[in-house]
């Protein structure tokens, strides 16, 4: 399996599978990052997310050094290696269904590709892998000066939030990362019902990156939006990605879709709207980058589904285990992290290719 | 600009900008491909697409040799280089607006990134570049035995087709690549209205790939769906990408979303539905791969829009030129080509990594 | 630092710096590899190599699973992650010279590039990193059926071995990996002298890979010899690389250099000599691949050398620490590993690109 | 064939085979580059190089635009595509030996890999491809401010130049790019003899790059010397690569090999020697980068050699055609170009990764 890395200059490589045990020690330097970001992804924080306990403590193996002059920890230029512990390892959970395929789950494609799969959990497809992404995103955020990347759940099942009620402060006040306080109350009841039925439901997540310099990306195959699409579609269970108005853009006229431009007070172009989601022709405009992605409902449900086993026998399956009724909730910090990683990578690429950006506006002739 | 290549083992590199003139001679070998695919993309075929005439004739510069024994042309292993001519070059079209930014167009991000842009057309962002993609796709289709990749326009503006009327044969019978004959009639009137107003409208395209072997892709960062998302989002004017049920998956319950499995007559697993769009955990299931993408309306419209020029002066812009009222139409063959290229690349990767796929089902113990 | 990976389909990523401490547990599966290969690289095995003790025990973190049917450990397709412990950590060794640059050592280029360096050892340039390469090579050897990769020291200082006395069996019988038993005796005395003077000396290593299928590589930029050159030049302290006759080829006439061809008993072409070192036009011929590389003497010597410190002050330096008088000795297993990794990568690439190699000879017309 | 590109941020992709015909028009902008560099590589300039006439005229297809304000041609950020014409196409030259393998030539490995080869010349392995490299190198030289890259032939057959007589001015005064005027006179007689015998001879080329900033490269797998080794070993017929003292370094003691350091008048470190060839630990020191490579004698000779044909029949071969008695001569500008490309790529990488280099020396505490 060769494809465990993403990024060109900001490169992230992950390894590990579900249910690997590591003994770790948390360094102070990274601990502050952990509290901010990894905790968001962590299951078991409310009755709405998986009851597995994954403290996600992190140990730095290389790449960081205490600077003696300042007492601060600094990066050395060497690769920053992080190991994330999994202390709550109960690999027997899946033993009953180990030879069966869960409809909607990747265990069948593993068998068809590799001829085996790791019955101790989801293998590489396990949601555990995403903790590494969140950690990588925490580092990425430090690379681009002034970058802010925030995510929010904007739809659960068929229930959307009311955008007029959007309040970023609400995101941390409810277990759904929902910016609409009123809808979050509804989600609590709604998801309780889903959970009690042993069912599951999907969600839509929106990520907004502010402070992205204009000029990141490239016009043809290193497009910023193409890389964001890959990064977000590459999150477990994601089935759709939008930039800016996304699929709604297909319904707009050219007049509606045009983000008109005036001069801003800072002497830079100021867009009067952001249908483009901050990207035109694969290159950032300087506006906030807005991306959305759809997360399907988990395949681990209590209702029996028809399936076959690895030996070609037809049967039915029920997944008991400990599972999230809405895995989309935990995808919020993962989406943030992927966006941060892509922007950091393009920030470095742009610096390499172009160096100092050209001064704008150009001198009139 | 370093990013003019996509793919890992099936690599496509393009160069050229809008309005480059080349004198070319069409080889017989490629002519047959041209008629099938390049013509689909070509503008000026009806009143609904750009009135520029781009015959898209293709010359093979390297990589193909006539085999003396068989008289057939074969690839030599050397890179297949194609040059596509542009005979209808009128670079003065844009002279009036050469220093203005079209709202919703990439000319502003080019200036912000590079400090200049090619006023002779869209530069690298020109839709001309996509002819190269279609040509690459024609080659990609030949790599995977039994592969079929077909695209169709399924929505124009807010008007969707009726899926019950889907007929692939209709796609080539109307100028919209629309599989719903009745809706195609409506589109003709509708788009005439859009064109007469000097406006533009978006569209949604669906691409279906059949004959894709199970097992292509990888579980984490070389996911087949992630690469498809990048490839489709990397097409000009695309703002959203879906695999399978896409954003609708967020609204489904786990029960609804599960593609149940039985044994097929061929001794392989047979899925009873395809919400997944042929990909689970980043790996192909053997079902048809279904992808959709949303194309925004072109920014070239006759209604004046507020903008600024390169020198920071506020003004208004009207784009006269020759433009498509619905650029999404011409995106159909491009989308097909990108899907074909991604599948061909993953086909080669899979063969490299795994070699012969494991026999399935496994022997029962 | 983005560049911690090599290979395209067989990808190796390393992290870590000199003197990282990890607590590890050695799995049985890998233990057998360890005894064969990692022990060869390990310092402290004789008075001729560094007196640091690096047991190089290895723990597998992911990618390997015990197959229940067979009881054997198999790879899962997930990335194989190995952690190598360093138990003999004495980071104070270098404290006296921490602000000084050792002439011939990379500490100055680290400072010039990054503005800091890890004073606890060589940082990423530490020879510790090479243990990872040896481990990767052990896995690479398992990928290509029938592959054998063996290395030997063929020159120390200006003293070459006598090729007529070459005996692979001798390589493991002396502390120099020297295939010439008589010259190995001389090296023992010679290197004792070097060591006692606190000096150091260079060496030349030869690596021979047998069982390499014909056809690996590519004609232009993925040349097998180019990738071997990068892999070997990328080993610490290496200053020259040769394939086949190497620099001697410049002195040959075309007649001398031609490896004439007859038909072998196996119906394949049989070369009557191997000046080419098993590679023609960047592609393997099926003959043994022969590569050599030159290792410079270590810069850590007891004789004072003129230098400056990080603050621009002129001074002198003496490196005490624990060092090898001939670091080339330990480069033997590293060179083997790099060659094995490159061949494994090209083996997978070739399978991806070409699939089954064409049958040879071709049917006569 | 996927591997037609080198470089990460300064990427060069070539296509084409021997004897492709293109009709081209030479732009003025590039003409000046052509006269400087491409002419050096061009065959048919003296009786000592191939009597094929390859005017190597170059046409720019994209990426360059005339700036109206200044009247100068500037790059647009789009890929710079160049096409190089081959007007002297006589593809029948090889018809007699088209089914035979030349000992020491890549035609056999092509057949073993691909099952066919282009009998119209060397296919992708043709020396024609190297004209593209020279053109790429001409662009690369413009990227790094103050960079100078010069090459010279320092050995022909077993005859070395006298380094005390090195004069860069002599390089352009003899047909051998030889910096030793006296030895160049000897080479003329010597090579006449080789040519008259229908034989061939190898050579060693040295390339020196001055004005390379300190800090380019990376410590582990993106080493500057590793990339140079790959680039030079990837030139046709090259069998060995050295950096700095190269294989001689193996014979030095640590004392001899140490490049002692003093403070320079410019406030930067000044090395008192350059055994390292300008690279320590994979990173440039700021000294001149010195690389050498060995070119084997061409396999195209008049003396019969034993071989087999594609059908497995034993026979003999004589290569008539038009060939260089010493292909190493024409490798001089190619070596320069490869070095320039690698340095340009690392210059961009370094700017991306590190941005502004740290000020040196550091403030004393």
Nearest CA in chain D to B80: D15
Residue B259 near residue A109 (C-beta atoms within 8 A): no
Closest alpha carbon to A285 in A211, A354, A221, A199: A211
B contact test, residue of D67, D76, D99 with most B CBs within 10 A: D76
pLDDT digits (tens, 9 = 90+) for B51-68: 444 455 666 777 777 666
CB pair distance less than 8 Å for C353 and B78:
no
Q: Which pLDDT band, with edges at 50, 70 and 90, does D365 fall under?
A: low
Q: What was the pLDDT predicted at D98?
A: 82
Percent of chain A, pLDDT > 90? 55
Cβ–Cβ contact D46 with C under 8 A: no
- Please report the pLDDT score of residue C33 as a whole number: 40
Dist CA D68 CA D79 (whole Å): 20
Higher-pLDDT residue of A190, D3: A190
pLDDT in tens, A73-103: 777 777 777 777 665 545 445 567 789 999 9
Share of chain B above pLDDT 90, in %: 55
Burial of residue D362 (CB within 10 Å: 0-12, 13-18, 19+) is middle
Residues of chain D found within 8 Å of residue B8, distances taken between Cβ atoms: 2
Q: Model confidence over B82-97: pLDDT tens digits?
A: 777 655 545 445 567 7
pLDDT band at C114 (very low <50, low <70, confident <90, very high): confident
In this complex, the residue of D69, D78, D351 whose CB is nearest that of residue A351 is D351
Q: Residue A79 has what pLDDT?
A: 75
Predicted confidence (pLDDT) at residue A342 exceeds the cutoff of 70: yes
Mean pLDDT score, A39-48? 64
Could A217 and B354 be called an inter-chain contact, meaning their C-beta atoms sit closer than 8 Å? no
- Give the pair of three-digit tokens for residue B253: 């319950």
Ordered DSSP codes for C308-348:
EBTTS-EEEE---S---S-TTTTHHHHHHHHHHHHHHHHHH
CB-based contacts of D119, cutoff 8 Å, min separation 6: D94, D95, D98
Give the per-residue pLDDT at B20.
37
A353 touches D: beta carbon within 8 Å:
yes
Q: Which residue has the higher pLDDT, A240 or A49?
A: A240
pLDDT of A151 > 90? The answer is yes
Chain mean pLDDT for chain C: 83
What is the mean predicted confidence (pLDDT) over B190-204?
95
Mean local confidence (pLDDT), A260-271: 96
Asked if residue A207 has pLDDT above 90, the reply is yes
User: Given this model, what pLDDT does residue A314 score?
Assistant: 97
- pLDDT over 80 at B36, yes or no: no
Mean pLDDT of D143-171: 96
pLDDT at res. D32: 37
**Which of the four pLDDT bands, split at 50, 70 and 90, describes residue D30?**
very low
Q: Which two tokens stand for residue C126?
A: 């530490």
Residue A74 in contact with partner chain D when CB distance is under 8 A: no
Q: What is the pLDDT of residue B35?
A: 38
Q: Is the pLDDT of residue A51 over 60?
A: no
Query: B79 or C105: whose pLDDT is higher?
Result: C105
Average pLDDT, rounded, for chain A: 83
Which residue out of C6, C27, C76, C121 would a mutagenesis test of the A interface target, given it has the greatest number of A Cβ atoms within 10 Å? C76
CA dist D292 and D311 (Å) reads 39
Q: Which residues contact D20 (CB under 8 A, 6 or more apart)?
A: B61, B62, D86, D89, D128
What does the block give as tokens for B286?
């053997």
Please tell me the predicted confidence (pLDDT) of residue B359.
Answer: 85
Q: What is the pLDDT of residues C79-93, one digit of tens each?
A: 777 777 665 555 445
Residues 6+ apart with CB under 8 A from A356: none
Report how far apart the first and last C-alpha atoms of chain C are (Å, whole number): 56
pLDDT at site D222: 87
Inter-chain CB proximity C65 and A15 less than 8 Å: no
DSSP conformational letter for B200: -
Q: pLDDT at position C264, please?
A: 96
pLDDT for C27-55, tens place per residue? 223 333 433 455 566 556 677 765 444 45
**B27 within 8 A of B61, measured Cβ to Cβ:** no
**What pTM was estimated for this model as a whole?**
0.91
Q: What is the 3 state secondary structure string of C109-165?
A: HHHHHHCCCCCCCCHHHCCCHHHHHHHHHHHHHCCCCCCEEEEEEEEECCEECCHHH
pLDDT at A38 > cutoff 60 = no
Higher pLDDT, C74 or D26: C74
When pLDDT is averaged across residues C177-206 and rounded to a whole number, the result is 96
Separation of alpha carbons A132 and A138, rounded Å: 10
Portion 205-264 of B in contact with C at CB < 8 A: 219
d(CA A234, CA A3): 12
Question: What is the C-alpha to C-alpha distance for residues C50 and C25, in angstroms, rounded to an integer?
Answer: 24
User: Under a CB-based contact definition with an 8 Å cutoff, are residues C292 and C242 in contact?
Assistant: yes
Helix crossing, C331-354 with C224-233: angle to 10°? Answer: 150
Helix (H, G, I), strand (E, B) or coil at D40: helix
For the residues A348-357, what does the mean pLDDT come to? Answer: 85
Asked whether residue A267 carries a pLDDT value surpassing 60, the answer given is: yes
Residue C56, pLDDT > 60, answer no
Q: How many Å apart are CA D45 and CA D334, to the nearest integer?
A: 16
Beta strands in B212-340 (DSSP E): 238-243, 261-263, 269-271, 279-280, 283-284, 289-295, 305-308, 314-317
Nearest to A246 among B240, B261, B276 (CB): B240
Least confident of C117-121, C278-282, D336-340: C117-121
Q: Does the structure show a pLDDT above 50 at C6? A: yes
Quick one: pLDDT at residue A154? Answer: 98
Does residue B99 sit at the D interface (CB-CB below 8 Å)?
no
Q: Which residues of C touch D363 (CB under 8 A)?
A: 311
pLDDT for residue C136: 84
Average pLDDT, chain D: 83
More confident residue, D164 or C38: D164
Q: A touches which chains (3+ CB pairs under 8 A)?
A: B, C, D
pLDDT value of residue C168: 97
Is the CB of residue B78 less than 8 Å away from at least one CB of chain C?
yes
CA A340, CA A93: separation in Å to the nearest integer?
A: 34
- Cβ A76–C116 below 8 Å, yes or no? yes
Structure tokens at A360: 């704008």
CA-to-CA distance for C82 and C337, rounded, in angstroms? 15
What's the pLDDT band for C118 if we cut at 50, 70, 90?
Answer: low
Q: In the complex, which subunits touch C with 3 or more CB pairs below 8 angstroms?
A: A, B, D
Q: Answer whether D278 touches B (CB < 8 Å).
A: no
Whether D340 shows a pLDDT value over 70: the answer reads yes
CA angle D91, D97, D102 (to 5 degrees): 110
B201 contacts chain A (CB < 8 A): yes
């Amino acid at each position: 399996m060769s494809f465990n890395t993403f990024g060109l200059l900001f490169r992230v490589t992950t390894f590990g599978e579900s249910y690997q045990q590591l003994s770790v020690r948390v360094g102070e330097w990274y601990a502050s990052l952990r509290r901010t970001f990894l905790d968001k992804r962590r299951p078991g924080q409310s009755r709405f997310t998986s009851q597995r306990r994954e403290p996600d403590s992190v140990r730095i193996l290389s790449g960081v050094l205490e600077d003696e002059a300042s007492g601060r920890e600094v990066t050395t230029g060497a690769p920053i290696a992080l190991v994330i512990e999994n202390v709550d390892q109960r690999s027997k959970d899946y033993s009953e269904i180990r030879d069966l395929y869960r409809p909607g789950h990747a265990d069948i494609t593993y068998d068809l590709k590799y001829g085996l799969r790791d019955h101790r959990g989801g293998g590489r497809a396990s949601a555990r892998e995403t903790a590494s992404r969140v950690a990588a995103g925490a580092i990425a955020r430090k690379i681009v000066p002034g970058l802010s990347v925030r995510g929010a759940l904007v739809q659960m099942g068929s229930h959307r939030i009311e955008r007029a009620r959007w309040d970023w402060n609400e995101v941390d006040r409810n277990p759904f990362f929902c910016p609409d306080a009123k809808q979050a109350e509804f989600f609590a009841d709604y998801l309780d019902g889903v959970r009690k039925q042993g069912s599951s439901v999907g969600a839509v997540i929106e990520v907004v990156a502010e402070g992205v310099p204009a000029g990141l990306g490239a016009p043809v195959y290193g497009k910023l939006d193409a890389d964001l699409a890959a990064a977000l579609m590459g999150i477990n269970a994601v089935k759709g990605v939008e930039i800016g108005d996304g699929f709604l853009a297909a319904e707009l006229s050219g007049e509606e879709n045009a983000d008109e431009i005036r001069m801003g007070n800072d002497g830079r172009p100021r867009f009067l709207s952001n249908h483009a989601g901050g990207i035109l022709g694969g290159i950032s405009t300087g506006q906030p980058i807005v991306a959305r992605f759809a997360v399907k409902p988990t395949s681990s449900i209590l209702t029996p589904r028809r399936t076959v086993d690895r030996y070609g026998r037809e049967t039915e399956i029920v997944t008991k285990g400990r599972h999230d009724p809405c895995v989309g909730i935990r995808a919020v910090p993962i989406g943030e992290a992927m966006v941060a990683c892509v922007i950091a990578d393009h920030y470095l690429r742009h610096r390499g290719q172009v160096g100092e950006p050209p001064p704008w506006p150009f001198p009139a002739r």
